[in-house]
Amino acid sequence: MTRRVLLRCDSTGDLYPVTAPSPIPQAFFVSQHTWHQHLGHPGSEVLRCLVSHNFIFCNKEKPPVLCHACQLGKHVRLPFASSSTLVTSCFDIIHSDVWTSPIPSLSGYKYYVLFLDHYSQFVWAYPLLNKSDVLPKFILFRTSVHTQFKCEIKSFQCDHGGEFDNRNLHKLFSDNGIQFRFSCPKTSQQNGKSERMVRTINNLIRTLLFQANLPPTFWVEALNMAIHLLNILPSTTINNEIPYIRLFAKNPDCVWVTLEGDVI
């Protein structure tokens, strides 16, 4: 635009060679945003690395703050807000979920239902032959709570699965004053505590089976061991307290053996 000569060289034909000693003028550089588009929309750190190693050359034009194509092609769901629910005693809220195993166990089980106490992080799990067995297992669990702890379950958090959202369970809760806390349909994040516990349990099940060189059909046996271990080990959710101690107010009655063979 200023009519100033940027570069002059001799032509030996149809091409105009630029010799090595001649610096490439700024007018020949493209913007960082153009490189961003041509290289498949990498992050700014990748572009800065390429520029610093002189693999690409960019002018000093500032790139746009947001790339429209990146917004459309790489967008993710916004994170869900963390729950601010606070409880002060055991069984104020019980979280529950049902997991379906891709492989039936040796005894024919295909599912398990877990009940997780919000306050203590103590977890119970029951293998199921059918999803319809959730109701009798919950009755068994509730009876155990009545007998062992002399208290009632106040709230029950779960998703809208048919094993929970049915007439029989609604009647049982209504008759006994138990509050249903359903997550929104197709919003498993609102049932996050039980979802994360399912993942933790399944990770431990697979690890135990690999360690013991057992086939996946032994997952029910590994489930029982996983639940026991999670209940007697510190939980980061409750500041590394032990769920068993929070629930029973005493140390777990277990034997620890060190690598040297000493019994503690």
What is this structure's pTM? 0.68
Phi, psi angle pair for 179, to nearest 5°: -85, 130
The structure tokens listed for 213 are: 């060189």
**Beta-strand (E) ranges in the chain?**
93-100, 111-117, 123-128, 155-158, 179-182
Helix axis angle, 167-176 to 134-149, nearest 10°: 20
**Type of residue found at 99:** W
Closest CA to 205 of 109, 95, 91: 109
Integer-rounded Cα radius of gyration of the chain = 31
Work out the end-to-end distance of the chain between its first and last CA atoms, rounded to an integer number of angstroms: 85
Closest CA to 97 of 232, 25, 194, 206: 194
3-state DSSP assignment of residue 149: helix
Interatomic CA distance for residues 61 and 31, integer angstroms: 6
Q: Is 121 exposed, middle or buried (0-12, 13-18, 19+ CB in 10 A)?
A: buried
Encode 16-38 in three state secondary structure: CCCCCCCCCCHHHCECHHHHHHH
- Listed by start position, the domains of the chain span 26-69, 93-248
Interatomic CA distance for residues 137 and 161, integer angstroms: 16
CATH of domain 93-248: 3.30.420.10
Distances (CA, A) of 237 to 65, 197, 230: 38, 11, 12
Give me the residue label for tokens 């702890």.
149
Asked whether 69 and 58 are in contact (CB, 8 A), the reply is no
Asked whether 70 and 41 are in contact (CB, 8 A), the reply is yes
Count how many residues are written for the chain. 264
- Print pLDDT tens along the chain (264 aa): 788 877 777 777 777 666 655 555 545 567 777 887 777 777 778 778 878 877 777 777 666 667 777 776 766 665 555 556 677 899 999 999 999 999 999 999 999 999 999 999 999 999 999 999 999 999 999 999 999 999 999 999 888 778 888 899 999 999 999 998 877 666 655 567 888 899 889 999 999 999 889 999 999 999 999 999 899 888 888 888 899 999 999 888 765 544 444 444
